[in-house]
Structure 1
Amino acid sequence: MGKNKNEMSFLDHLEELRWHLIRSFAVIFIIACVVFIYIEPIYDNLLIVHLDGTFVTYQFFCDSFQLIGLDSDFCSLTFDDDLVNIDVTGQFTMAIWTALILGLILAFPYVLYEMWRFIAPGLSPKERGKSRWFIFLASFLFFIGLLFSYYVIMPMSSYFFYNFKITDQIKNTILAQSHISLLTNTLLGISLVFELPLVIYFLSKLGLITPAFLRKYRKHALVVVLILSAIITPPDVASQIVVAIPIMLLYQVGIIISKRVEKNLKKKLKNEQSSRGI
């Protein structure tokens, strides 16, 4: 008979956590190996397509501006310079790093599943049943953020940075590593930001924040979001607004979630007091 989770010692818990981490890293590594095998078509068809003026996002902006009768640079967008590598081992290490990042992204639902398996035995049957939605919802928000960053933020970042010039006397020579770093930071950063409603949910469950607190500091949150948007997007107002709008919508959803959590906690406390005759 195995030990009950509640009867396990601290070292037993660490051992259990170690195996969950090992399985998570194993899945990430396996996916990374598959990505590494197909790294060339992945780069050609997914990772550097933002440097193609015919990319779907640029065409969408072009068609949208033409629809309202405005000329747009998106209709004749070109990226003159090829990406370069100046390090002997640069392309190899970049391929390994890219494979690991994509392995983490694709394995995200499984990593969440392992996290849930670790904490689930310590939950009551009712709590365990309710927590099953966590994996689906967290994965859903993560991949929505991934698509948003890939099809909106990254094209806008590429358009801005590759076309910005202080003077024509300065020529850009873009390192491939720099482009991939911008891409991976954007994908991971925006995807994790989209987990905001779940973060608010758990902080509300722990009693660390309340809907009143969130409403009171909504304006402060907007300032923080704008600063965050300025960090992870090109330094122009349009890009910051594009990022800020969905984040603030997620913040508003978080307020609704926090209100629901507070209501349930009050109801639970009232029922407990009634059962004790208080």
Structure 2
Amino acid sequence: MDQQFLDEEPKEMSFVDHLEELRWHLIRAVASIVVFSIIAFLAKDIVFHDIILAPARTDFLSYRLLCEFGQSLGMDAFCIDEIGFTLQSRQMSGQLSMHMLVSGVIGLACAFPYAFWEIWRFVSPGLYQQERNNSRGAVFFVSVLFILGLLFGYFVVSPISINFLAGYQVDPSIVNEFDLNSYVSTLTTLCLSCALMFQMPVIVFFFTKAGLLSPEVMKLYRRHAIIVILVVGAIITPPDVVSQLLISIPLVMLYEASILVSRYIRKSDLKKLNENNTI
């Protein structure tokens, strides 16, 4: 659907007209978030029991798959028998406030593709024809990478981090009783951070197009990037090799994919430049 708007020629509009059009795009984007938030609010049992609180239970899908993987190697060390913490709500309106907050976050996540499409509809007519041609499919790729990042954060990063933090103790006499706000904040922060991190190929695409980045620069700093990824993986995961690899390998692959994107864009631009010089 965004293809239709990319192909349209930009029309001359006054500043007030631009503001009016932007207002309607924002209204539709916010409306989509509100609609999904209301749906999430009404589906309380599914949202909290099956989604938000699922990583806090031992029957979570990621824990089961990790256990099966360990058993296939003849090891039971990867099986999680218990999650060493309890959740509490210490404020009178704590659960209601968290219900509303979680509904808003899920509404934002579900409506993101449409909301981004609305913003893109406003921005794209102001681009030159060549810029619009270069950015074809932007809505699709941004949306897909956002969803993949959310899934990676939810099924990989969050359960590993939650399980590690739940079992970490400075002294056996201290019992982990986490506040609901702390748990939800950790979960949503990890998921949304991964969703943003997965936008790396798109960011690299536009930076390469703008001449601000090149595959040579990314290759030059590849080792630095890998070290940063390993450090981040070591911080948010338990101190074992398997957990760190589960986090680090996909991020390294994402960086390598970004190098390929940058290389493809550079070759494409050089080819077009040579063709123009030949004519």
TM-score w.r.t. the length of structure 1 is 0.88
Provide the C-alpha distance between the structure 2 equivalents of 1:237 and 1:68, rounded to a whole number of angstroms.
16
Aligned partner (choices 52, 56, 59) of residue 64 of structure 2? 59
Matched, 1:39 2:39: no
1:151 CA displacement: 1.3
Question: Taking structure 1 as reference, are residues 9 and 267 closer, same or farther at Cα in structure 2, changes over 3 Å only?
Answer: farther
Provide the C-alpha distance between the structure 2 equivalents of 1:23 and 1:192, rounded to a whole number of angstroms.
23
Matched, 1:23 2:28: yes
Aligned partner (choices 124, 132, 139) of residue 120 of structure 1? 124
Provide the C-alpha distance between the structure 2 equivalents of 1:167 and 1:73, rounded to a whole number of angstroms.
23
**Aligned-pair Cα RMSD in Å:** 2.2
The higher-RCO structure (CA 8 Å, 6+ apart) is 2
Aligned partner (choices 184, 189, 193) of residue 189 of structure 1? 193
Counterpart amino acid of residue 230 in structure 2: L
- Give the unaligned 5+ runs of structure 2: 1-8
Aligned partner (choices 219, 229, 249) of residue 215 of structure 1? 219
Match of 1:111 in 2: 115
Partner of 1:259: helix, strand, or coil?
A: helix
Matched, 1:140 2:140: no
Partner of 1:83: helix, strand, or coil?
A: strand
Post-superposition Cα deviations, 1:179-224, rounded to whole Å, max 9, x if no partner, equal 1111100110111111111110010011100111111111121223
Contact 2:84 2:176 (C-alpha < 8 Å) held by counterparts: no
Identity %: 35
Contact 2:161 2:238 (C-alpha < 8 Å) held by counterparts: no
Post-superposition Cα deviations, 1:122-155, rounded to whole Å, max 9, x if no partner, equal 3466764664422222211111121111111111
Match of 2:5 in 1: none
1:234 CA displacement: 3.1
Question: Taking structure 1 as reference, are residues 269 and 80 closer, same or farther at Cα in structure 2, changes over 3 Å only?
Answer: closer
- Give the unaligned 5+ runs of structure 1: none
Match of 2:272 in 1: 268
Provide the C-alpha distance between the structure 1 equivalents of 2:238 and 2:70, rounded to a whole number of angstroms.
22
Match of 1:159 in 2: 163
Aligned partner (choices 91, 97, 100) of residue 93 of structure 1? 97
Partner of 1:70: helix, strand, or coil?
A: coil
Provide the C-alpha distance between the structure 2 equivalents of 1:248 and 1:56, rounded to a whole number of angstroms.
24
Matched, 1:249 2:253: yes
Partner of 1:74: helix, strand, or coil?
A: coil
Deviates more, 1:219-228 or 1:100-109: 219-228
Contact 2:70 2:78 (C-alpha < 8 Å) held by counterparts: no
Provide the C-alpha distance between the structure 2 equivalents of 1:10 and 1:250, rounded to a whole number of angstroms.
40
Post-superposition Cα deviations, 1:7-54, rounded to whole Å, max 9, x if no partner, equal 234444343333222221111111111111112331011110112112
Matched, 1:204 2:221: no
Provide the C-alpha distance between the structure 2 equivalents of 1:141 and 1:102, rounded to a whole number of angstroms.
17
Question: Taking structure 1 as reference, are residues 90 and 224 closer, same or farther at Cα in structure 2, changes over 3 Å only?
Answer: same
Provide the C-alpha distance between the structure 2 equivalents of 1:123 and 1:189, rounded to a whole number of angstroms.
29
TM-score w.r.t. the length of structure 2 is 0.88
> Number of matched residues?
270
